[in-house]
Structure 1
Amino acid sequence: MLNTKTKHATGVAIAALLVGGLTACGSDDEPGSSSTTGGATLTEIKVWDPYPQYDDSSDWAAYVKACAPEGTTITRTSAATSDLLNDLTSAVKEGNAPDVVMLDNPAVPDAAASGLLASADEVGIDTSGFDENLAGPGTVDGTTYGVPIGANTLGLYYNADILADAGVDPASITSWDTLTDALAKVTAAGHKGITFSGIAGEEGVFQFLPWFWGAGASLEDPGSAQAVEAGQLLSGWVGEGYAPKSSLTDNQSASWDLFLTGEYAFAENGSWFAKAASELTDFEAVAMPLPGKDGGAAPAPTGGEFVLAPMQKDDAEAHYANATKVIDCLVGSENQVKTADALGYFAANASLRSEQVASDPIWEPWATSIESAEGRTTDLGPDYTATSAALSTALQGALNAAGDTAQVQSAFEAIGG
């Protein structure tokens, strides 16, 4: 999902990646094969990504630039996720679109519906081998536009030291009731409860969806009784003091920082923090799936970006040829795991991900969650944007209600069916 959130977890991964041979990311095409159309050689390839936390001197920037085919150079530009779609809209309209863009997966249907993207077939992007649930957001109205650069999802981290002190067996946490009981026990023992991000906008909705789906709610009916139940759960945690009031404004990095203080028993957060969690020395942090309302693992949303080729007005064939080579370098079978590791993501191919999980035990608790994760836009396509905005408003109202049942119900019923 959202990409400022990766900044705490990925520096070590990218540095390790470079040791493993960064320059191997170049194209396998013959030397001198830079693309031409009508005799014009296109030697500059523009790549846009939503990772402004990595400046031009970063290891990530070097990794991307090493994907330049023979005879070309890559110019990389980064912008915040919230700005990238607007920037792309202007660039396509003005005829100076990048060759490759990486968009947060919920933005793909909007970009496709707005005519900003060339189809994978037109460009020649290889879309084979990606898991259906992870690749789903790249297909809109039967047309596939791009492929995931990797994937991430959400889970429940716990501070094993606090749970032991409070006499809570993590294996007992299998439902909303058992999690809430655990929160009561850890706070009674003098600790703090749980951190999560309820910030206004897509980031807060991303973190709300496991509870929303875990209650049996559907994005096609975001004001349902099940949605109200999910809102009441989190609102009640704030009201009881199990979750901080700052949950209303905390983004995922801020809520993770609270967990890192060692004062909180639990944190809802992403797989991109798994590496950082494994390296903590002050306490033992362990990950488990988020529980559904009545048991089992809650469906979690897929996060991560898609690699796409924007529409081109001039020299389209040459732009698309260059885009294909760069995209293959980033997510082809030879480099997909390296790219995913660099971002703290999972590979979006089941067999490659199995190798990734087997190579590092920190990923093992996440394997089930990523395989059962759901695309946010799969059911609604471009209509997801409006539904997400309405859910965000309802969630803010619920959290502000701090457990007031009538206010929570009113917040969600305002969405309508």
Structure 2
Amino acid sequence: MNSKVKLIISGSLASCLVLAMAGCGGSTKADDKVIQFWDPYPQYSDGDAWDTYVKSCAPEGYTIKRQGMPQNDVLNNLTTSVKEDNAPDVVLLDNPFMPTAVDAGLITDIKAAGVDTSGFDENIEGPGIVDGVQYGLAFGSNALGLYYNPQILEKAGVDPSSITDWDSLNTAIKQVVDSGAKGITFSGITGEEGVFQFLPWFWGAGAKLDKPDSQSAQEAQQLVSNWVKQGWAPKSVATDNQSAAWDLFLTGEYGFAENGSWQAASAKEKGYKVIPIPAKNGGVAPVPTGGELATLPLHKTKQETKVKAAAQVITCMTSDKNLAKTNETLGYLAAKKSIRDSQAKDNEQWMPWIDSVESAQGRTTDVGLEYEQISATLSKNLQTALNS
């Protein structure tokens, strides 16, 4: 999840030089049978489960050379490589980057290349469709939820099923703090990562992205600001990223934590549970769709055979046969209901996430390129609220 939409082009050339030995560029005559595959998962090295799985999707006669790198580096290096007509063949882009990549002419129509996009959830696929053309295919999504520590809640006399809106959530946090424990952790760090965690409260208040300074938006800011002012949340939320916020929760001192489905496995090990984030007046608050989209970068020098092979890689990873494995390997929920339901049936840890994923909203789906400025405004307002 989770990264800035704004391009940081300065340094792209340097990044590409650093990656040159690892295949920063795309195919040349010398490696026509090598598919260059970029993703934003540098934590997975050569031989890891994800790396091995990706390479297993190489079409007959081809091999896949995978390169993982940080989110911003993916977009920056892609910009440089397309300009030099040396782009990779398949790139997984964080979903808020899609309008920027399309506007810059970095990626192409995947349906025209032969990728089957039928049957996927509209809400998850939204960021990949720009002006009616599908430039990326989301294989799945991660999501945000409200984790809780059952032992702390039991001691505080809090029934998690009673948390259905903001009032009942505030009451529960107060009971937890009054019992001697700490309240809630979340990430409010400057930039897209903090905005990502703020959006469920923003949307849950009824706010709209095209009106980031609305009264509803201010109510969401006040909610999280009050948590800090009352000592229910640590002051560090203004600088904590999602990993730091989770580390605080793992201490066992806090009753609640807003965090992602990618933490489900570690939460299970600690005995923590999760409920959907409540909207202000009840119901499940929309969360932003998390995750990446598979794209086909632009090659100025036509490579029809290579593009067809690259499309086959995406098809392999998103077929009904393999979609569950693609998502399970990354800790995501599939972007197809039938596969998602099968995941939940096979692994009960996914059950609490179904509603959140199915009600999730794309950050750029309705506002496109404008999201970059909207996100910056939301981040600025959030920082002001948390530090006031």
**Do the structures match in fold with TM over 0.5?**
yes
Deviation at 1:41, TM superposition (A): 7.8
Measured in 2, the distance between the counterparts of 1:249 and 1:318 equals 47
Contact 1:196 / 1:252 at 8 angstroms: preserved in 2?
A: yes
Q: Secondary structure at the match of 2:333?
A: coil
Measured in 2, the distance between the counterparts of 1:149 and 1:250 equals 29
The partner residue of 1:334 within 321, 331, 353 is 321
Measured in 2, the distance between the counterparts of 1:389 and 1:61 equals 34
Contact 1:47 / 1:77 at 8 angstroms: preserved in 2?
A: yes
Deviation at 1:2, TM superposition (A): 2.5
The partner residue of 2:111 within 114, 118, 121 is 121
Q: 2:2 aligns to what? A: 2
Q: 1:21 aligns to what? A: none
Q: Secondary structure at the match of 1:168?
A: coil
Contact 2:143 / 2:289 at 8 angstroms: preserved in 1?
A: yes
The one-letter code sitting in structure 2 at the alignment partner of 1:368 is: D
Q: 1:372 aligns to what? A: 359
Measured in 1, the distance between the counterparts of 2:248 and 2:348 equals 25
The one-letter code sitting in structure 2 at the alignment partner of 1:234 is: V
Measured in 2, the distance between the counterparts of 1:227 and 1:306 equals 29
The one-letter code sitting in structure 1 at the alignment partner of 2:310 is: A
Q: How does 1:168-207 map to 2 (within 5 A)?
A: 168-207=158-197
Asked if 1:218 is matched to 2:196, the reply is no
Larger deviation: 204-213 or 39-48?
39-48
The one-letter code sitting in structure 2 at the alignment partner of 1:336 is: L
The one-letter code sitting in structure 1 at the alignment partner of 2:316 is: C
Backbone CA RMSD of aligned residues: 1.6
Measured in 2, the distance between the counterparts of 1:301 and 1:312 equals 31
Q: How does 1:47-58 map to 2 (within 5 A)?
A: 47-58=37-48
Deviation at 1:40, TM superposition (A): 9.1
Q: How does 1:144-183 map to 2 (within 5 A)?
A: 144-183=134-173
Contact 2:110 / 2:311 at 8 angstroms: preserved in 1?
A: no
Q: Secondary structure at the match of 1:193?
A: strand
Deviation at 1:85, TM superposition (A): 1.1
The one-letter code sitting in structure 2 at the alignment partner of 1:258 is: L
Contact 2:2 / 2:196 at 8 angstroms: preserved in 1?
A: no
Q: How does 1:23-62 map to 2 (within 5 A)?
A: 42-62=32-52
Q: How does 1:321-360 map to 2 (within 5 A)?
A: 321-360=308-347
Q: Secondary structure at the match of 1:123?
A: coil
Asked if 1:239 is matched to 2:229, the reply is yes
The partner residue of 1:319 within 298, 306, 311 is 306
Q: 1:266 aligns to what? A: 256
Measured in 1, the distance between the counterparts of 2:54 and 2:172 equals 44
Asked if 1:79 is matched to 2:69, the reply is yes
Deviation at 1:393, TM superposition (A): 1.2
Measured against aligned partners, the alpha-carbon deviations of 1:19-73 in whole angstroms (never above 9, x if no partner) come to xxxxxxxxxxxxxxxxx99x99820110000001112242211111121122211
Q: 1:133 aligns to what? A: 123
Contact 1:312 / 1:319 at 8 angstroms: preserved in 2?
A: no
The one-letter code sitting in structure 1 at the alignment partner of 2:371 is: Y
Deviation at 1:275, TM superposition (A): 1.9
Deviation at 1:327, TM superposition (A): 0.4
The one-letter code sitting in structure 1 at the alignment partner of 2:330 is: L
Measured in 1, the distance between the counterparts of 2:234 and 2:30 equals 59
TM superposition score normalised by structure 1: 0.85
Deviation at 1:116, TM superposition (A): 0.5
Q: Secondary structure at the match of 1:106?
A: helix
Q: Percent identity of the aligned residues?
A: 56
Q: 2:132 aligns to what? A: 142
The one-letter code sitting in structure 1 at the alignment partner of 2:106 is: L
Q: Secondary structure at the match of 1:356?
A: helix
> Where does the alignment leave 5 or more consecutive residues of structure 1 unmatched?
4-35, 402-417
Q: Secondary structure at the match of 2:112?
A: helix
Q: Return closer, same or farther for 1:40/1:51 CA change in 2, 3 Å cut-off.
A: closer
Measured in 1, the distance between the counterparts of 2:311 and 2:74 equals 21
Deviation at 1:274, TM superposition (A): 1.3
- Matched pairs, number: 365
Measured against aligned partners, the alpha-carbon deviations of 1:247-303 in whole angstroms (never above 9, x if no partner) come to 1111111111111111000000111111221222xxx31110101111111111110
Deviation at 1:83, TM superposition (A): 2.0
Measured in 1, the distance between the counterparts of 2:54 and 2:192 equals 27
Q: Secondary structure at the match of 1:274?
A: helix
Q: Secondary structure at the match of 1:121?
A: coil
